[in-house]
Amino acid sequence: MVGGSARAIHDGIAAGRVSAVEVCRAFLERIEAVNPALNAFNLVAADRALARAGEIDRRRAAGESTGPLAGVPVAIKDNLCVRGMRTTASSRILDRFIPPYDATAVQRLEAAGAVIVGKTNCDEFAMGSSNENSAYGPVRNPWAADRTPGGSSGGSAAAVAARCAPLALGSDTGGSIRQPASFCGVVGLKPTYGRVSRYGLLAFASSLDQIGPIGTTASDAALALSVLAGPDPADATSSRQPVPDFMAALTGDVEGLRIGVPRAFVTEGVDEDVRQAFDEALDTLRRAGATLVDIDLPHATYATPVYYLVATAEASSNLARYDGVRYGHRSRADGNQGLKEMYSRTRDEGFGAEVKRRIMLGTYVLSAGYYDAFYLKAQQVRTLLRQDYDAAFEKADVVAMPTSPTPPFRLGEKTDDPLQMYLADVFTVSANLVGLPAISVPCGFAERSERLPVGLQLTGRLFDESTLLKLSDAYERLTDWHTQRPT
């Protein structure tokens, strides 16, 4: 039961083979058993989850419609608001914040019958690539306790990999769903910007942030996206683009699909085991009927610096709201302190080192005399990146790259070198800058690195998640990487 997919769990509950309460108890027991070693959860909502599961059982017994995720346990990244449930973004500044409302994504999950089992640990305000920036300590990779699970949605990916939940929500600003999915050997989908409402997501960089699912199969990702997608009047950036039947796309047929491979870009600096797994994945899809096409992304090498200019600038603006006045932590070091000093002390006490670093970088690039040289120039290169992908999609249906240039690295390995940490996002940030959908699926293991997971990343056209899910599902039918789990 605990190892099953979201679809299998839903089908078992719908058929009466198992109750939602039994499923919920099994996953709560699993969390209790493994979370002390992983630190994947900031909060476990056992009583709330069991009450919700009991409600699902009563509705099913009464013959009422219970939804496509009825009884399926779901973990929620701790930067998504759940009404009445502490939501911290893994930051001391929000240590006691309890939202009075639900994020739209949470509303839609619960309307579909999902059972929320808890809030998952993450890098503070989703700023990081290793989940070591959390105020509540790092998450450990279920495959190797001395390795990072990736970030910033490391808790969600670790929870799914350790079978603490069949589905989890993450947020992806520069790879924060896909990179942890790759490091933990699970599936992670970043939808097109605007496909899923961001209402109730604690903002990091508003033009880049996107909510998406993490699961064990492409089919579960498709099921979750079907629930999450669609316009929302509470989010002006959500798209009115029609939502297709993502499940209908999972035909297993890849005949004639064109896979673009930017060979020059994915060669330099890539671990040998990662490159081998990537090449073998491409060869598997080629033998199944897909066509490999060489493409060029001439400006892709600039994506990382562009990302860290745009993202930090937007973070500087978004995080200005945490001032100790309206909600969150407030410094009380000196009752006689003035307002300016209170602001300063509140932010110094509440924010961690990486958040402070990004706020300072962003404030600098937006400041008088530097705006044109940095922020404006970054936005211009962002346009060039969009043009690169437009040209690539004239020749290909999807673009394939490794999700990460390396297997999961050791905890503490890159914390003293922020630049090396930032470069871990080299293959993922472009999709956010351009707003494209992208998915990571397990494609092998780095055998020379203690058998650690490797991910294949596929990037698609705007609002064409269907093709990504179709190709990912077909790949899963041809391999068994997604079925393997950590011990």
Please determine, for residue 307, whether its predicted confidence score (pLDDT) is greater than 90.
Answer: yes
Per-residue pLDDT tens for 79-132?
999 999 999 999 999 999 999 999 999 999 999 999 999 999 999 999 999 999
Amino acid 1: pLDDT: 64
Per-residue pLDDT tens for 100-115?
999 999 999 999 999 9
Amino acid 2: pLDDT: 73
For each of the domains in the chain, give its residue range(s) and CATH number, in order of start: 1-487 (3.90.1300.10)
- Mean pLDDT is lowest, of 147-161, 328-342, 394-408, for 328-342
What is the mean pLDDT of the segment spanning 57-64?
A: 94
For helices 154-161 and 20-38, what crossing angle results, to 10°?
Answer: 120
Supply the residues annotated as catalytic: 77, 152, 176
Share of the chain above pLDDT 90, in %: 91
Per-residue pLDDT tens for 254-293?
999 999 999 999 988 899 999 999 999 999 999 999 999 9
Please determine, for residue 334, whether its predicted confidence score (pLDDT) is greater than 80.
Answer: no
What is the mean pLDDT of the segment spanning 207-212?
A: 98
What is the mean pLDDT of the segment spanning 449-475?
A: 96
What is the mean pLDDT of the segment spanning 302-327?
A: 94
Per-residue pLDDT tens for 151-199?
999 999 999 999 999 999 999 999 999 999 999 999 999 999 999 999 9
Please determine, for residue 416, whether its predicted confidence score (pLDDT) is greater than 90.
Answer: no
Mean pLDDT of the residues in the chain: 96
